[in-house]
Amino acid sequence: MNARKITANIALTLDGRYHGPGGPADAGAIVRYATTDTARDFLGWIHENATTAVLGRGCAEGFLGFWSTVAVDEQADPRDRGYAKWLVDTEKVVLSSTLTESPWNHARVIDAPTADVLTELRATGTGDILVNTSPSVIKPLLAADLVDRLYLLICPEIAGGGQRLFEDGLPGSTWSIVRREVGELGELALVYDRVR
């Protein structure tokens, strides 16, 4: 049996940041690109083979309020709604040392080292595992060289401050581009597979 593929999705600025200098709520350099046709098509790419979503606590709590409402909104863009329904209905694992119960249905909270949890998930079940917009989870997986596919939405702005995804000290690695699309605002939807 083949091991499951661990995939990770995140939007970044040109300077590699997932938020601006104002902290996690400072998404101004990213948010305007999240509703383009390219970004909405990208939502379909990221979950097309995934059967499990993995989120950090902050994303799990933030996503609950937003995507749960999109899933039942008849006026929502069908691409957003499809992704939202998948996220609401799929198995979810929330990595947290502070939550005692899950904020979502179909979810369980695990307080254990990220690499250990994902290694165990990879060895069981079928379908891809999508680590969804959760840098607190993606960073330790990159450090342990456990990510098999990266879904990156690159936004054509320089934030000039804020947290970076790719920090010094990561092990060197090689990636192959398997899909790309350029959006109308200059955003890039990219899919990279780890070359092992």
Distance CA 52, CA 91 (A): 5
Distance CA 102, CA 26 (A): 26
pTM of the model: 0.93
Question: At residue 54, does pLDDT exceed 80?
Answer: yes
Element spanning 38, H or E:
helix 37-47
**One-letter amino acid identity for 191?**
V
The whole-number pLDDT of residue 53 equals 96
Distance CA 94, CA 63 (A): 12
The whole-number pLDDT of residue 58 equals 87
pLDDT digits (tens, 9 = 90+) for 166-193: 999 999 999 999 999 999 999 999 999 9
Distance CA 36, CA 180 (A): 15
The contacts of residue 133 (CB under 8 Å, 6+ apart) are: 9, 10, 11, 55, 59, 63
- What are the extents of the domains in the chain? 6-195
pLDDT digits (tens, 9 = 90+) for 67-118: 999 999 999 999 999 999 999 999 999 999 998 888 778 899 999 999 999 9
Q: Which residue has the higher pLDDT, 54 or 3?
A: 54
CATH of 6-195, one of 3.30.70.1290, 3.40.1350.10, 3.40.430.10, 4.10.93.10: 3.40.430.10
Distance CA 31, CA 8 (A): 19
pLDDT digits (tens, 9 = 90+) for 124-166: 989 999 999 999 999 999 999 999 999 999 999 999 999 999 9
- Classify residue 51 as left (phi > 0), alpha (psi -120 to 50) or beta: alpha
The whole-number pLDDT of residue 2 equals 64
